[in-house]
Amino acid sequence: MSAFVVSPKTLGHIIWCLREDAHKLTYDWTDALLKRAGFEVATVEGSKKFARELHKMNVRAVRYRYEDDKRRYAFVYEPTKCSLYQAVKSMHCLHYQCSEGDVPEEPLFKLLEDLTHAIESAIVTNSAEYELADWD
């Protein structure tokens, strides 16, 4: 498995979704998950802090995979408007890139999983197909 540090655009998709769309779609479930973990994304500073922590987690995973990697990975904060589907795919990308070493055991990694699942669940349960499906 290879690993890389995701682009600012990928992180930007995640932040945009959490700030602009996810809390409405999930009835604040994502905000509650973030708050429980000590984060908030309603402000620029809060969003930047969360994005920076995701970036650092990604760098830790890459350095675990490539122990001799001494590059400095600049953090760039760029919330980037996108669809919910793009945001989920960006979350999947980050999740995969952070799946090295002990990183998957970190609370932030588990938070990323929980946020992704919350948004995926909300997309499905808000779809017309779900509404038409049998309950029993």
Buried b (16+ CB within 10 A) or exposed e, 108-135: bbebbebbbebbeebbeeeeeeeeeeee
pLDDT in tens, 67-76: 998 899 999 9
CB distance 98 to 104 below 8 Å: yes
- What tokens does 10 get? 């990928």
Q: Region 35-53: what's the mean pLDDT?
A: 97
pLDDT band with cut points at 50, 70 and 90 for residue 3: very high
Q: Region 16-38: what's the mean pLDDT?
A: 94
Query: What is the reported pLDDT for 13?
Result: 98
Q: Region 86-110: what's the mean pLDDT?
A: 98
User: For the residues of 36-94, what is the DSSP string, one character each?
Assistant: HTT---SSHHHHHHHHHHHHHHHHHHHHHHSTT---------------HHHHHHHHHHH
SS3 21: helix
pLDDT band with cut points at 50, 70 and 90 for residue 23: confident
How many other CB atoms sit within 10 Å of the CB of residue 65? 17
Q: Region 26-41: what's the mean pLDDT?
A: 95
Q: Which of 134, 16, 111, 15 shows the shortest CA–CA distance to 57?
A: 111
Rounded CA-CA distance 111/98 in Å is: 12
